[in-house]
Amino acid sequence: MITIKFSGALGEIDDKYVDEAIHYQRISKKHGWVKWVSMAACFCVILAAVFVFPQLIKDRTVQVYTLSQTAYMEVALVEWQGEGFKAIVVDTGDNNIFPVNTELTVLFEENTKIILNDGTQFEYNASQSNAGSAGWVLGEIIYVEFLNYEQYSDTKGYSNRVYSRVVEVTTTEVTVTRKTFEAQILEVRENSVLVEPLEGTNERQIANQIEVITDRVGEYNSQVYLEQAKIGDIVRIGYFDEFSESSNTQIKEVYEIVQVSD
C-alpha cells in the first residue's frame, strides 16, 4: 500500500480505536502451576473441614448415657475428689457396664443422697462440696446406685465416670488394702498364671506356689502384658483381697500384673 493510500485509510479509523490501541496493556499470563497449587490447597482445607475438625470436636465431646432404670454396684474407695471419689469395682451388682476391678470415678450429682455410717442422710450440695463430710475412710466398700454414666473403656482408668444417685457404706467392718508382691511365673494358663513368690515376700511365707486369677484384671497395661506373658518372667502382682493359707493358695481379686524383668 502506497503512503498516500495508507494515510488516507488511517484517517478513516475512529479515534476511539486509536486511543484504545495507544493505552493497550498486555494482560500477563499466569503460570499454570500457580492455579493447581491453589486448587490443591483449597482441597486440603475442604478435607480437613470434612474429616479432621469433626473428629477433634468428637474427641472433646463427653457422651453421657442414661439407663432405662437405676443400677447398682459396690466399689472400694480409693481417693476422695472434690465432686466425688476414685474407686475400684469389687461387686458388679446388677450393672452390666463396669466389670469387677474397673477403675472409675464416682461423681455426685446435685441432690445425690449420701447415707452415713450411722444411717443419717444428706444430699450433696455442689456449691458447698460437702461430700467429704461423709467421713468414709479409704478402702471402705461403698454401695453406688446410678442412672447416668460415660462410656466404659478398659483403657481409661479413673477417667471412667459414673454419676451416682445414692451412695452408702455397705459395711464398716470390711476394708480393702492394696497389696503387691513380686514373683516368677512358673506356668501360663488360660485364665490364670502359676507363680512362685520371691524370697523375702510375705506371700512366700504362706505358699511356695500361688495361682493368680487373671480373667478379671481390668488395668490396660496388665492386659497387654498378659497377652505375651511367658514362663520365667519376674512380675509385680497387685491385689486387694485377703490372702492366707485358708485361701487355697489362690488370689482372685487381682488389679494389676506387670513385668518387672525377664
Q: Which of 140, 175, 210 is the last residue of a domain?
A: 175
Number of structural domains in the chain: 2
Which grid cell sits at 168? 452408702
pLDDT digits (tens, 9 = 90+) for 88-131: 998 898 998 999 889 999 999 888 888 887 777 888 877 765 55
pLDDT of 174 above 50:
no
Q: Is 109 domain-assigned?
A: yes
Q: Are 178 and 255 in contact (CB under 8 A)?
A: yes
Residues 153 and 205 in one domain: no
Is 42 in a helix, a strand, or coil?
Answer: helix
Residues 230 and 255 in one domain: yes
| Run of H or E residues at 110 | strand 103-115
Q: Please, what is the Cα angle at 172 between 169 and 175, to 5 degrees?
A: 100
pLDDT digits (tens, 9 = 90+) for 178-204: 789 999 999 999 989 999 999 999 899
Residues 112 and 196 in one domain: no
Residue range 80-85: mean pLDDT, rounded: 82
Residues 86 and 167 in one domain: yes
Residues 72 and 155 in one domain: yes
Q: Is 57 domain-assigned?
A: no
Q: Are 83 and 107 in contact (CB under 8 A)?
A: yes
Q: Is 147 domain-assigned?
A: yes
Task: Say which amino acid occupies 59.
Answer: D
Give dist(CA 167, CA 145) in Å, integer: 6
Q: Is 38 domain-assigned?
A: no
Q: Please, what is the Cα angle at 154 between 150 and 157, to 5 degrees?
A: 75
Residues 84 and 159 in one domain: yes
Q: Are 129 and 141 in contact (CB under 8 A)?
A: no
Give the neighbor-by-neighbor strand order of the sheet with 192-197: 250-251, 210-213, 192-197, 179-188, 234-239, 254-261
Q: Which of 175, 209, 239 is the last residue of a domain?
A: 175
CATH number, domain of 250, equals 2.40.50.140
> What's residue 143's pLDDT?
93
pLDDT digits (tens, 9 = 90+) for 214-261: 887 767 788 899 999 999 999 999 987 665 554 568 888 788 899 997
Q: Which of 175, 194, 223 is the last residue of a domain?
A: 175
Q: What is the pTM of this model?
A: 0.48
Closest CA to 57 of 69, 48, 68: 48
Its domain, for residue 138, covers 64-175
